[in-house]
Amino acid sequence: MTQPSVFEDRTPEVIKAEILTALTESGVEIDTREGSYTNILLSQVAYALWQHSQLLAGLLPIVFPGPDSGEYLDKHAAQLGMVRQPGTKARAEVTFVGTDGTVIAAGTAVYAPDSGLRYLTLEAATIADETAVATVEAESIGADYNVPAGSITSMAVNVPGVDDLANLEAAAGGSDPESDVDLYTRIHDRLSLPITSGNPNHYIQWAKEVAGVSYASCIPLWAGNGTVKVVIAGADKGPVDEDIRAACAAHIEEERPIGATVTVVSVTESEIALTAAVTLVEGSSTTDVTNQLTAAVSALLTGQTFGQAVTIPYSRFLACLLQCEGVADYSTFTVSGGTAAVQIAAETVPVVGSVSVTETA
């Protein structure tokens, strides 16, 4: 846990020197030379005072919650009636192919060979007409279990009569436990944003109470009187899957004021393509510049306010190019095919798309 700067310079030596200086200035005639009884005694006192200051440093993140407060962050949340989102397990539909009459029992383990992630069938299924479909649930919570279609293709223990299996659609609904940073953000929002019955902040709070939702915005009256749209995103400001979106919509439906018509949508990604022709610094390559430009623009886009329509000037993107260590100069640079400001809608999150960097002849 990082110590506040107020305690960083309070070493035993500094404390001891302060005491010795105070004794000297008081006019007390006492031997304080190194090795003397008084000097040894003061060394122990200074060390004890230093230990006390370390205890005080450790108390600050406990008393005043922050992203580094660890388990005490949960205690602060509990005082507000809030709990850390525990994360959820992903689910998928798996199609089994084999001999008619073969029974796949509930609890049968299947897995994705590429990742080694295991899933368990939630109900028994019997193969008929050479196929059977069963819902499987991830063995543990986490977003890693949201594997693509065709990933779950093996059985942990072979079942006689089953020849093949696969998830025809991607697994969905898995989310990681809420991080300290995200929990602190929710606590801070609860304390700093006024919440009344059904105001925009209230809808944002309800949305973030759902596992898998880390960002949310509210658009009041988006389709006329009584309508509310809530835009949600995951921990990386990226889109959430349909299971999480549906869970968020259901939760808000339970909490919303009577008469409100609420629409919950996942944020969508808006790719921004970058094309540049540059003069390289000696020793640099176009690959180096591509990586540097991608990182710089990604940082620029990540810093944009979520859930609000924004305009990013072309000059901000150009600055990202010119700060690249491998760029000495440039001849052309386009953002999404042009040199105009980029408009970002409230329901979209900008991400870096294709990046093409060539060397100026």
* Same structural domain, 262 and 280: no
* Same structural domain, 230 and 285: no
Residues of the chain scoring pLDDT < 70: 1-7
In a domain, 231, yes or no: yes
Phi, psi of 258 (to 5 degrees): -65, 135
User: Residue 310's domain spans which residues?
Assistant: 269-359
* Same structural domain, 248 and 291: no
pLDDT of residue 5: 53
Residue type, 1: M
pLDDT of residue 53: 82
In a domain, 80, yes or no: no
Task: Return the residue matching tokens 């992630």.
Answer: 117
pLDDT of residue 184: 93
Q: Considering only CA atoms, which of 93, 92, 175, 178 is closest in space to residue 140?
A: 175
pLDDT of residue 4: 47
3-state secondary structure of 154: strand
pLDDT of residue 307: 87
* Same structural domain, 140 and 118: yes
In a domain, 79, yes or no: no
Q: Considering only CA atoms, which of 129, 127, 165, 126 is closest in space to residue 149?
A: 165
User: Helix 12-26 to helix 37-63 angle, to the nearest 10 degrees?
Assistant: 130
Phi, psi of 115 (to 5 degrees): -110, -20
